[in-house]
Structure 1
């Protein structure tokens, strides 16, 4: 059985997929009422499942007429994607969770297949990179950047 976060994520992604303009605008309290949960649960889902690494841009306006706008970012230019991933998202250091989210995004966009995604995750996992955390995150960033460059060049 799926948990409430999975159900909310699935619901929001379905609405987004059906949206003709490529974005949705929701009110946190309305979604919380719909799923009979606390509004902070909606925040949790948005903050963890709709991140830039996963291909989403989230904007919000607080207050009485406030909203949360979620937009799916589509890849149009491989050169720009490589710059975004390697320079802006990965940088000099990256955690395993963020690295895995980037690999999942490449898979979702059809730039890699399931086997390549699994290999990328194994090569950058904390079970393979057996060094202290700071060095491990730096090694992971270097490995991911090289893998992405290689993938986008083919």
Structure 2
């Protein structure tokens, strides 16, 4: 069985996918009530699974009429994807940002599940056992080479 965080994430992604504006506005308390959990569980899901690195912009307003707005940031089309990736990766990239970018590319179907898994393995701290900042520089080079090869 999936845990409550996975269920909440899946629900939010499904309503976000159905939204014509590519954005949703939710009330933490109402969502917590719907899933029989505490509002901090909703905060946890949003703060860990809907990050900028993963392609989401989150705005929130606390208080009585508070809300959370989640907006999906779309990757550029195939024509300008190379420029976008070059800017995002630059000369170095940390593991969290790299994994977020791979996640975005997989979600947008630029990468298959298997290609994304191979990339994550190749750029992991465990595979790149070098000190910073060299690790982030090597990770950037590996990512660029792999993406050029995969995306043409």
Q: TM range, normalised to the smaller chain?
A: 0.7 to 0.9
The alignment partner of 2:51 has SS state of coil
TM-score (norm 1): 0.81
Aligned to 2:23: 23
CA deviations over 1:98-152 (Å, ceiling 9, x no partner)? 3222212212212122332232122212222121244323321332234335544
Q: C-alpha distance in 2, partners of 1:81/1:42? A: 33
Q: C-alpha distance in 2, partners of 1:64/1:137? A: 43
C-alpha deviation, 1:26, in angstroms: 0.3
Q: C-alpha distance in 2, partners of 1:103/1:117? A: 6
Aligned to 1:116: 115
1:73 aligns with 2:73: yes
Q: Structure 1 residue runs of 4+, over 6 Å off? A: none
- Report the CA distance shift for 1:145/1:79 in structure 2 as closer, same or farther (over 3 A): farther
The alignment partner of 1:58 has SS state of strand
> Is 77-86 or 109-118 further displaced after alignment?
77-86
Aligned to 1:47: 47
Q: C-alpha distance in 1, partners of 2:48/2:83? A: 23
The alignment partner of 1:25 has SS state of strand
TM-score (norm 2): 0.82
Aligned to 2:58: 58
Query: Number of matched residues?
Result: 152
Aligned to 2:101: 102
C-alpha deviation, 1:68, in angstroms: 0.7
